[in-house]
Chain A
Amino acid sequence: MPTIEVSRKVLERLAGRKITGDMLDRVKGEIEEEKDDKIKLEIGDTNRPDLWSVEGVARVYREKGVPKLKARKSGKNIIVDKNMEEIRPYIAGFIAKNVNITEELLLDLIQLQEKIAENFGRKREKISIGIYNYADAKFPLHYKAVEPLGIKFAPLEFDEEMTLDAILEKHPKGRQYGHIVKKHKLYPIFMDSTDQVLSFPPVINSNRLGRVTKGASDIFIEATGSDIKPTILAVNIIALALQDRGASIETIEVRYPYATPLGRKVATPLSFGEKMAFPQSLAKERLGLDLSASEIISLLKSMQYDAAKKAGNITVTIPYYRRDVMHPFDVMEDVAVAYGYDNMQPLEVRSFTHGGFSQFTLLSKRARRCMIGLGFQEIMSPILSNNTALQNKMLSAERAIEIENYMSETYSAVRNSVMPSLLNLLGKNLHVEYPHKVFEFGECASLDREPKSEAKLAAAMADTSVGYEDISSAVDALLGMLGVKYELRPSKNKSFIEGRQAEIIVGKKAVGITGEVHPQVLQNWGIDTPVVAFEIDADAMSP
């Protein structure tokens, strides 16, 4: 969930009212931290980039209906190269004039740019955004594809000119975002009509033409991306935010040499003018609210929709800075939010249903009760483990399911047995009064032809004088109480001492093992008393 930092002063000035914590339901927001004037605000909706700025939050408390974006035509163009269709096909942009770029506004703008590109733009893969000084660039601008070694410029924070390949290798942003362009033979470049580089989207801006400093008054903004509507959406959101801060917005027309869903000439910002029919009956059916059409329309306007009644239906205009409204239920939720969840009378679910436990839970309850009766302390362990614990320390060759993108080696495999969890615990409690008697009824997964999830019960006893009979008695008592007929058959499991171990056989199938743990295994776990243990498949204990 995006967290933004806003100034309370600016927020309340833009909203035209005081904002208290309980009003933040409207933006699904929560104050994480407030210090002096700064509020850290978490916005719950990961699909509403329009709310990820102080301007966007303030708008919700200020506007009724869709706020107007008063964009003039600038007559300026961005010309797209035909090779871009296969690389990063879409670009959109606008000019913002008479902005008084203060330090504070610049930080707010950069924050919005980053939140959109990182969260909504999927770490720039789908959308990236650049901000430039209007005065520095000569229009028309060109968005084109170049050879990685065919051009040189100095990226932000670097004085030295580098090839695009060098930037991907040396610049921190190049290393971070380079993978997005590396799969292509040609790389995107954004330059002005005098062939001066403005930026290398989506990686980095030029150090010379790609920076805005405070005091600037006219700037322009560009977004590139893989889908046209989200790319324009990003531009719409930023344009409206800057207008809210007093800027005059002018459109830039993008000229494509290929067809796009919106044509070959697309002036941005652009209102998609999307409308949706909202059946009035939904309020009653799905929200349990008796609302008239005019009440619904008034609630919708307070959530910045335009809405009008038309033949039993309400027609809703979706704001041009939102792409999250894909179904009338999305509109319906906004009606509920505007109405206030607090103002809704809760209803009880009256339908009668039979409750009950799964077979797993029923068995687990019985088996655990038996183990507790036998004097064992139940333990609970992570299911994530590693090959050192599951194989090396156990002297086992059985492969476990491994995790490809593990975060720490400690949790890089899924346990295929509960025994290592028990031995791990015993090894950490040498100073704790003996005897130790522990068990766990837990989930595991094994690598069959397909991954297979299963549950196992394992128990261990550690003390200077424990021996095979102690654990075979426990097995006998457990299976006796559960009514499971079993036999013991000498086995050769490397984790146990030969001649002091047996397979537990139920219905001719080996379903578990019991015996004295091998001294080498004990040593591997740092245990210095004898340990006897058993492990049995949960399935085998079912009636």
Chain B
Amino acid sequence: MYKLTDEGKKYLDKGLPEKRLADALAKGPMTMLEAQKMEDFPIAIQWAKRNGWVEMAGGKISLAKKPDGFELQNALESVAKMGKADDFHLQILLSRNLAEKEREDIVKKAQQYLGREIANIPPELIKTGLWREAKLKKYNVAVAGKKIYPGKKHHYAAFLDHVKQKLAFLGFEEMRGPIVETEFWNMDALFMPQHHSARDIHDAYFVKEPKYAKSLDPAILEAVKNAHEKGTAESRGWEYRYDVQRAHRHILRTQGTVLSAKTLASKPKIPGKYFSVARCFRHDVIDATHLADFFQVEGIILDEGLNLRHLIGMLKMFGKEFANAEKIKVTPSYFPFTEPSASLYAKHPDLGWIELGGAGMFRQEMLAPLGITVPVIAWGLGIDRIGMFNMGIKDIRDLFSTDLNYLRNMKVTY
């Protein structure tokens, strides 16, 4: 909507200056002196000339052509009456500052919303404060909202993030490594003899091609071979013939401890704390409690003067941190690469004592070939199981569920 400016209103009453000039000249030519005495003459002459209505000669001004009509004057009237005019003339009025855009009367608009029930609240009501008088419809607020499916973390990935975060807070630095490994790093370097039962074709997955890694660090290989065959200082070793070819055999990583072995072999910090969350693989029948493809959380602590009591202290702290368990126990255990060894149990309200993980001090026969002389506490947590308890999952296969509804509806716990 448009309205007239003060100047526009004046011309509405008096007529546009060029119209007044044309009207006066219609009665006969005037001298310039006479004409200049007319009101608004500079404007009148400018537009009358532009319209080709007048001509000037010998100090006189006369009508060149009688105007066909006064369309602009009509447009002026139209704006005054209806707030609009044809676009061509409206643009002229606007450019001559005779008309301007009318500010909407938001009060008026807002008032339209009063007196009836409204659903969405219009901005006019909020701006004018008239919402105070408006009647807002009351909704049935007890109805749950329409389902939406936002992006979110996978529940187990979120839990693993939480575990990593916790370990980083506790001063552990994260280790990473490949999922395709050699028997050497996965087992030999951990002082697991090549005939150990956890190494046969019923326990580990062997890679079809290429069967063997091209090379292994010859110095470490030699040191590990000697430890297996003849032992290290004070130890008699496993007393068998070590198969160097077999050490190169490619397998899928069976335990996260391989990362600890590699860290120990690459000049770790002392004191040092390291952890890993590693995907591991075992030749297992898949059921409610077993996956062929699972996670292990492992770590090591290296420092002078560490002893079994530190290990027990650390395990008890882990029980509280990760399983939030009130009752925790640490018992003697067996692992091929640790001595002494321990297992960590937590009391579950329904299921009784649950094994959370294992730990120990790495054997000298394992540490010496890797060049480590300080005591090393090693620990591993059955994180899949701990995660299941924490999230109330009964079947381990649900960690890899392909049911999108299940994933969408899973609570955000971490």
Q: Is A484 engaged at the interface, CB distance under 8 Å to the other chain?
A: no
Q: Point out residues on A near B: beta carbons under 8 Å.
A: 25-26, 28, 44-48, 119, 122, 126, 227, 285-289, 326-330, 332-333, 336-337, 341-342, 344-349, 351-361, 365, 368, 371-384, 401-408, 411, 414, 424-425, 428-429, 432-433, 436-438, 443, 445, 447, 450-453
Residues of A close to B177: CB separation below 8 A: 453
B333:A383 contact, CB within 8 angstroms: no
A384-B292, A450-B214 provided; 9 other pairs, C-beta below 8 A?
Answer: A288-B307, A341-B342, A349-B273, A349-B301, A355-B167, A356-B174, A372-B153, A428-B402, A438-B404
Between A and B, 8 residue pairs with Cβ closer than 8 Å are A46-B334, A286-B308, A336-B332, A341-B330, A356-B174, A384-B293, A404-B207, A445-B180
Residues of B close to A424: CB separation below 8 A: 402
A117 to chain B, nearest CB (A): 13
A327:B402 contact, CB within 8 angstroms: no
Q: How far is the CA of A259 from the CA of B206 in the complex (A)?
A: 38
Residues of B close to A376: CB separation below 8 A: 151
Q: How far is the CA of A289 from the CA of B309 in the complex (A)?
A: 9
Q: Is B265 engaged at the interface, CB distance under 8 Å to the other chain?
A: no
Q: Is B113 engaged at the interface, CB distance under 8 Å to the other chain?
A: no
A383:B179 contact, CB within 8 angstroms: yes
A199 to chain B, nearest CB (A): 24
Residues of B close to A451: CB separation below 8 A: 178, 180, 207, 210, 250
A126:B179 contact, CB within 8 angstroms: no
Q: How far is the CA of A408 from the CA of B209 in the complex (A)?
A: 18
The answer, among A45, A377, A403, for a CB contact under 8 Å with B252, is A403
B309:A327 contact, CB within 8 angstroms: no
The answer, among A45, A355, A452, for a CB contact under 8 Å with B273, is A355
Among A349, A406, A424, A425, the one with the most B-chain Cβ atoms within 10 Å of its Cβ is: A349
Q: Is B139 engaged at the interface, CB distance under 8 Å to the other chain?
A: no
B309:A355 contact, CB within 8 angstroms: no
The answer, among B180, B301, B331, B339, for a CB contact under 8 Å with A333, is B339
Chain B residues touching A, range: 35 or more
A375:B150 contact, CB within 8 angstroms: yes
The answer, among B172, B291, B365, B400, for a CB contact under 8 Å with A353, is B172
Residues of A close to B156: CB separation below 8 A: 380
Closest residue on chain B to residue A374 by CB atoms: B151
Q: Is B246 engaged at the interface, CB distance under 8 Å to the other chain?
A: no
**A122-B197, A333-B332 in contact; A403/B206 too (CB < 8 A)?**
yes
B365 to chain A, nearest CB (A): 7
Closest residue on chain A to residue B407 by CB atoms: A377
A57 to chain B, nearest CB (A): 14
The answer, among A384, A403, A436, for a CB contact under 8 Å with B404, is A436
B207:A355 contact, CB within 8 angstroms: no
Q: Is B272 engaged at the interface, CB distance under 8 Å to the other chain?
A: yes
Q: Is B262 engaged at the interface, CB distance under 8 Å to the other chain?
A: no
Q: Is B411 engaged at the interface, CB distance under 8 Å to the other chain?
A: no
Residues of A close to B375: CB separation below 8 A: 286
The answer, among B151, B169, B197, for a CB contact under 8 Å with A377, is B151
The answer, among B154, B174, B210, B308, for a CB contact under 8 Å with A344, is B308
Residues of A close to B153: CB separation below 8 A: 368, 372, 378
Q: How far is the CA of A358 from the CA of B167 in the complex (A)?
A: 12
A336:B308 contact, CB within 8 angstroms: yes
B216 to chain A, nearest CB (A): 12
A436 to chain B, nearest CB (A): 6
Closest residue on chain A to residue B332 by CB atoms: A337
Q: How far is the CA of A28 from the CA of B250 in the complex (A)?
A: 33
Residues of A close to B172: CB separation below 8 A: 353, 355
**A356-B168, A358-B174, A374-B151 in contact; A25/B306 too (CB < 8 A)?**
no
A22 to chain B, nearest CB (A): 9
Among A351, A374, A384, the one with the most B-chain Cβ atoms within 10 Å of its Cβ is: A351
Residues of B close to A443: CB separation below 8 A: 179, 279
Residues of A close to B402: CB separation below 8 A: 379, 381, 424-425, 428-429
Among A28, A47, A355, A414, the one with the most B-chain Cβ atoms within 10 Å of its Cβ is: A355
